[in-house]
Every structure is written in C-alpha cells, then in structure tokens.
A and B are shown apart, each in its own frame.
Chain A
Amino acid sequence: MAHSHKHEKPVETGPKSRLISLVAQFDDPHALVVACDRAREAGYKQFDAYSPFPVHGIDDAIGIRRTRLPFFVLAVALGACVFALFLQYYVNATDESPIFPGYKFFISGKPLFSLPANIPVTFEIIVLSSAFATFFGMWILNGLPRLANPLQRIPMFRRATNDKFFLVLEAKDDKFSENRSRQQLEEWGATAIEECHEDLTDQKIPAGLRRAGILLLFALLLPPALIYRVSGMTYRQPRLHVVPDMDWQDRYNPQTRGPNIGTPERPRPLFADGRAMRKPVPGTIARGDLTENDEYFRGYKTGTAPSESQSGPYAAIQDGMAAPETPPEPEWVDVFPEDITVDADFVKRGKQRFEIYCVACHGYDGNGEGLVNQRAVSLAATGDAAWTAAKSLHDPAVKSQPVGRIFDTISNGRATMGPYKDQIPVKDRWAIAAYVKALQKTGIKSPADLANDQGTATPAGN
C-alpha cells in the first residue's frame, strides 16, 4: 500500500504544491475522540487532533505519552536552589575573588551566612527559574513559536480555535493513501474534509526581509566593534559623568576671595575683609596647636630662643645647599623634657621610627651610609649633584650635642637634611632622639674615627 501511494503522489499534487495532510472537521469533542480512537485502531501513527479547548480523553485516544516537562522543571529548580545559595554566600559572606569580589556584611554581630535569613531569596529564585523553565520548556517542546503553518491556509481550519474539532492525518504516515484515508474519515463521522498542501513555489525569504536581516546583522556587529575600538584607548577629556550624585558641590576653598553678594555695579563682599573664610576668634587656639612649652616642643630652655630669621627651617631654606654659617643657638636642653619617660618601649619606638625616616641617609648603624647617601655621594663625585654627605651620628661633634639639639635637627633639619617636624609627631621625634643617644652609646666608630685609628695603628702594626 505504501508503494502505491508513493506512486500516486506526483500525479495528484503537481509540481507547485505537495499534499501533506487531510484535514477532517468534526462538530463536537465526543466525535473527535471517537475518530481518534478509530484512526489509532486503523494503524495510523502520524496524526493529530485540533480543538478549541483540551478535550477530555483525547490523550489516550491518540496515544500521547506523558510529557517530560515536569522533570525538566525539577532539574532547573534544583539548579536554581544551588545557585541561589551560592550567590548569597558569595556576595555576603566572602570578600575575596578574582573578579567582582563579594562584600562581607557584618550586621549586629550576626553570622555572615545563616540559612533562615537566606531562605526567602532562595525560594524566590527557585520559583522564578522554575516558572521560566515551565514557560519556555512548554513552548520549545511544542515546537512553537512557528513562523508559518500550512494548516492555517485552510479557511475551515480557522474554527479550530472557535467551535470545531479537527483530525489531521499526515501524508507521511505509512498507512496514508489519499482516497482510502478520505473514505475512512467519512466513515468516522467527519462533517467536512479538505486537503492541506505545502506550497513549493514560495519558499524563498522575501527580498525585503532578507535585506532587513542583513542590516540587522551588521547593526548587531556595531556595539562589539565600537567596544573593540575604544578598548585600551586613553582620553584627554574627563569621563562622561551620567549620574552626578554628589560628586561636585559648590563651595569656597580656604585662602580664596569670598563671593560678591552685592550687584556687579556695587560689589559687596560676603565678609568685610573679602575672604571666603573666617579667621579664628582672637585668643582661641585650634586643637593640637598649643605649643607653649619650649623644652618639649622645641628642645631648648624657655626664653633662650634666637630670633626667627636666624634658625629653623626658614634659615635652612634661605641658605639652600650652601654650608651655613654657624647660627646663633639657644640653650639646648640636655635632659629629656618632663613629659617624656624614657624606657625600653620608648627607645624601641624610636628605633622603629628611625628605621622609617632616618636610615635612608644615615644608615642602620647611624654611620651615614644609607643608600640615598651612597648614591648621592657617587653622583656628587661626578658633578651630577650637589650633596653634603650625611653626618655620621657617631662623629664626636654629634656625640657631644645635647639631646635638645638632636631634637632640633630632626625637627628643622640641617644643611641638606630637611625638616621632619611636619611628618613626625613631637613625641616620636623625642623617641628618635632617644634612640640616637642609645646608638651613640654602643661604641660604633664613625668613619673619621676609623680612619684615624687606621692612620695611627698601621705603623704600629707593621
């Protein structure tokens, strides 16, 4: 039989179209179920029923197997559960990762990751993912959406979504033979039968659609191409700032002229002195600015200060690199001020600060052989730099200095050495001074001493 229908087909359909199915109409769902039953009994396998609503009992009549959709949804749901828990752990309980690090939220001392607090979001993510899996899974399994369906060319078939019921026998079924199948459908109670043809003449994509498709393809290429072009580029303009937030706020900088609150013709400054900001009220001192105690803050006995221009950083700046004339000096303190208690911890602190600020030039042992000094001396030797070599702290001249003088050197600098009072707090400067004093007591010899020793020792040794 299969042979004969293959023989018939080209004769029946002609070159322009091909018969793909017979469409039979039924008037009520009951008749459809009965017809489906008969079709299955007659050995048809490739057929389907169409109805405006799901007809009770049709699955058994056609022999539709139960869909696997629930298992697919279950798999997605389990995956979503794992993903949701991982997401929450990752973003709220970790803070290290190669890309987009998490952020540890410490809130009221609660644990970073606790299941009860993470259940709501986990649940919602499971439901959301499962709903998507159900929705899209159903359409994919049904082979929808579909751009065109030959069945919809049959006017009668439009009532499949209204009030009629259809049985469609596919021509590709082995049992299909046009005349016999038509006869069978009539026997089973079909009220109308029509042929469904596949149009073979019109299978090309319309030219306009194709052109639009190509254009769209190029349009899709544009964003990655642009990103590729700008990747790694440098710009002179500031970045586009779409959301200004509070990144720029109107304000007046300190030490600037204040606004004009009058008219351009008759200007009136905000403050009488024209400044944008007020000076402190006379007699007030800002926190941390009370530095009355000369011994503690400046290292000399109260009332023995020389005039400003003769010492301190100003003098150092004015004198530049030139070897300074010995300026007039105050009477340095030779014991630590009362506010300081020198003990092991204090000296340790001094050592630590010394190794941060001083060793670059003075070296770990205080002999003036720090790396910066070595390099600068070698440059000075070739005339590439002006440099007064760092002093050895074991030089007898330094050794004999009172502690107040060492404190002053750290604070205000000497010769090439700059002032450190802006970098190092007062107490730490005293700690460094204490450490320098301790270093000097170790008996390390200065290079000059060593040279002297050698000068005297060599003849004796020989």
Chain B
Amino acid sequence: MAASVDLSLDNTYEDPSRRADLVLGGMTYGDITDNVAEIWEAGRPPTAWYIVFGIAVVLLGILGVCLLHLFFMGVGVWGNNNPVYWGFPIVNFVFWVGIGHAGTLISAILFLFRQNWRTSINRAAEAMTIFAVVCAGLFPGVHIGRIWVFYWLFPVPTEHLAMWPNFRSPLLWDVFAVGTYATVSLLFWYMGMVPDIATFRDRAKTKLQKIIYGVLSLGWTGSARAWHRYEMAYTILAALATPLVLSVHTIVSFDFAVSQLPGWHTTIFPPYFVAGAIFSGFAMVVTLLVPCRSLFKLERLITIRHLENMNKIIMATGLMVGTAYGIEFFIAWYGGVDYERFAFINRAFGNYGISYWIMVTCNVFIPQLFWIRWFRTNLVAMVIISIFVNIGMWFERFVILMSLTRDFLPSSWGNFYPSMIDILMLIGSFGLFFTLFCLFCRFLPIIAISEVKNVSPQTLHAHGHDHHEEHATAH
C-alpha cells in the first residue's frame, strides 16, 4: 500500500508517467471515512465555526427584519424607481444564481468529462449551489410585491385571477428555469449524499441521530445491484443537469437580452452570462473551501492540486468574461447604432463609470495573477483573489442593470440609488447563505466519501490488479 508516501508530498507537479494522487498521505478507506465523519462526530465544532455561524445568524436576523419591513410597507422601501424598476433585487438574484452554477458544473459537467478531482469538492460545491439558489430565489420572490399571491407565478387555475401566466415572457421562463434548477440540484445533491448519510447512520451514537440519519439514508446498504442503478441514475442526472445549468443562465440573460434596451439587446448575453456564472461560482467555491479544509483538517482530501485546478478555471472563465466585455464594445462600435454606442461609452465613462472600472479590475485584471504559480497555490492569495472576483461579478450585474438609467430619450433618464434596506438585504442574504453552509458543514458529510474512496490511490491500485486478475481468470 501507499502508506509510506509522505503526507507533505506535493501533488501539483506534473509527472507525465503517472496521474497525480487525489488523496494524499496514504489514507486507507477507513481513514477517509474517519477524516470526514470526525467533523460531525466531534463533541463541539471548532471555535471559528461558532464565530462564523454567530455572525451569519445575526445577518440572517437582519435579513428577516428587512423582509418583514418590506412585506408590511411594500416595495417602496427599496431604491427602485422609474426608470430602474428592478434595482438591487435583480442584481442580487443574478449574482446568487450565477454563484450556484459552479456547483452543478463541478458535479455534472466535470463528472461527464471524467474529471476525478471533482470528487473532493463536489459535495460542498453542490451544497453551495442549493444555498445560493435559495438566496437567489428570495429576491425575485419578494420583488413581486404582493407575495401572498406568489402562486400566480405558476400555471395554477385561479378563480380570482381568471387568467394564466404568459408563456412567451422571459420572466416566466425564469420561474421555470430557476424552479427546475433548484429542484434538480436538490435531487442531485441528496441522491449523491445518500451513501454517505448511510455511513453516518452506521456510525451514529445517539438514538436521535440513528432515527434522523436512518430515515434520510433510505435504507441504503451499498448492495452491488443498488450501486449499479445508482450509478446509472447519477449519470442520467448529470446528463440532465448539464444542459440545464447552461439553460438557466441563458434564460436569466434573456430577461435582459429579449428587451429592446441599448446595452441589453445582444445575442452575446447567454454565453457571456454562463461564463460569468461559472467564474463567480468557482471563486465562491475557493472562498468557502480554503477555510473549510484548514478548519476541518481536510488537507489530504482537498489538496493544493484541487485548489489549483479551480484557480485555473477561474482564470480561464475570467478571460472569457473579459473577451465578452471587449466584444460588447466592438459590436457597439461596429453595429453603428448611435444608441448602442452611447450606451457603452456611458457604461465606461458615464454616470456609473466607477462601477464599470471596479468590474473590469476585479474580473479581468486581478485574476491574471493566476498565471503565476505562487498565486495559484498560495491559500491566502487565492482567497483574496476569489473575493475580488465575487465583488467584480456583483458589479458586472449592477453595471448591466444601470443601462436602464440612460435609454433612448433623455427625458426618461434617471438615476438609481440603493436605500438602506437594499444594502442590508444584500448583506443579509450572505447571512442566509453562510448560516445554511455552516449547518451543512456541521451536520452533513461535506465530502463525497464514497466517491473519494473510488478515486483514492488504494482503489486505483486495486483496479489495476483487478484488471489483471480478470484477464487471468477469463482465459
């Protein structure tokens, strides 16, 4: 076995003769289970967990108070105005739903591409997806004004309204896209977690744990027949989630692109939004996982190589986003429409020019540091860069939305200023996100234990053997 391998072995160097190990320190199957289950079995979580959770709950409380204020007073408590009817809610919506996309990319697309390094990070990334979609769904959900008739969003026959939703409206497509995305992500996440919940069930000590994890594990025993169907179902879900994740941000971009506004009415929006979503989502995964792996001692499972791979993706998608910014300007000039030209010059040098340059700095320039190996492998550096990326991606949506302030007619121009409630709700949504994520870390397997075992050096070694033997016995 690989027990003699040094724990500090660096798996970031490329050796063409062999694949780099994805689990370090010669961990056995039992070690991997222990490493992940210890987080859950520990009598009390690390102090840092309490601090983060405490802050998150306070922010969640602020969000709750803001929501109550909003429900009683109406949407006038926001800075939304004529001509900026959408304001912060849609900016926050697109920001959060974009973050979610990295989780599905890691769990579905990298699975279809047989990228085995995804196994260490996919569980946490999928959890992040679901919590981000919860935050995302919140904003358009409360933006409808009369939230008590939220069901008018769905094709439900109501005597009161006596009509149906308009199925040719991008806003309705959004309802279906985000609703489907949230549901499928939840199914995918839960299904992937069942074997690991069964592991927890079999290690449970208290009666309550036994009941809860026993019910959640659905009686999973790891039978070969069950695994066979499970793997098939997992592949099908991955194949369904892959076009789904592309469709979701495409449809989100349709909210803008289908309208006639200069700066919005472009065909580049769908691919550009999807690239931006993956960009911001990977940045969020890095932001979350670097502290997690230190706090919960997961360095041998989430290795520097995993983080480096993610940083490479951040750099690649950052370049795509930067290219899209450039192409937007080129088309505005090349298209020869005065309004488009004005919209883009105004974007960079107009009333919200400062946001444009924050966006370009954070999204295009700063990620270029990842060309340098030191930045890709230094934990502090990568967290700082990924936070910049998230700030930049929030501003990207803000910049796009501010096109509303300068449309065709100067008589309909206006400016947008967020209200205190707008800002508190944005901060509060981070409280919601981190509260859920902290609870997830504490009570659920944050690493896909069974999947990691499948790609650990121990298994890969055995597989090699296995192939050999099979041949031998077959002949």
Contact = CB atoms under 8 A, between A and B. Distances in A.
Interface string A52-94: 1111111100101001011001000000000000011001100
Contact of B184 (A28, A127, A138, A243): A127
B261 interface: no
A48 B184 contact: no
Contacts of A252: none
B377 interface: no
Contacts of A29: 459, 462, 466
Interface in A111-168: 114, 117-118, 120-121, 123-125, 127-128, 130-132, 134-135, 137-139, 141-142, 144-147, 149, 151-152, 157-163
B325 interface: no
B33 A142 contact: no
Nearest to B236: A134
A34 B155 CA distance: 55
A135 B233 contact: yes
Interface stretch (A100-108, A327-335, A388-396): A100-108
B10 to A, nearest CB: 26
Given A69-B232, A132-B187, A123 B224 contact: no
B6 interface: no
Nearest to B168: A117
B221 A62 contact: no
Interface in A29-63: 29-30, 33-34, 36-37, 48-59, 62
Q: In which size bucket is the chain A interface? A: 35 or more
B408 interface: no
Contact of A52 (B162, B215, B219, B453): B453
B237 A134 contact: yes
B53 interface: no
Q: Is the interface of A mostly helix, strand, loop or mixed?
A: helix
A102 B28 CA distance: 62
Contacts of A64: 224-225, 228
A217 B28 CA distance: 50
Interface in B450-475: 450-451, 453-454, 458-459, 462-463, 465-467, 469-470, 473
Interface size class of B (residues with CB under 8 A): 35 or more
A64 B227 CA distance: 11
Contact of A127 (B155, B227, B244, B451): B244
Interface string B1-39: 000000000000000000000000000111001000000
Contacts of B462: 28-30
B33 A163 contact: yes
Nearest to B188: A131
B227 A54 contact: yes
B177 interface: yes
A141 B198 CA distance: 19
Given A51-B224, A161-B198, A127 B240 contact: yes
Interface of A: 28-30, 33-34, 36-37, 48-59, 62, 64, 67, 69-70, 73, 87-88, 91-92, 99-100, 102-103, 105, 107, 110, 114, 117-118, 120-121, 123-125, 127-128, 130-132, 134-135, 137-139, 141-142, 144-147, 149, 151-152, 157-163, 242-243, 245
Interface of B: 28-30, 33, 146, 148-149, 155, 157, 162-168, 170, 172-173, 176-177, 179-180, 183-184, 187-188, 191, 195, 198-199, 201-203, 215, 218-233, 236-237, 240-241, 243-244, 247, 251, 254, 449-451, 453-454, 458-459, 462-463, 465-467, 469-470, 473
8 contacts: A48-B223, A52-B29, A52-B33, A58-B224, A103-B164, A131-B187, A139-B218, A146-B219
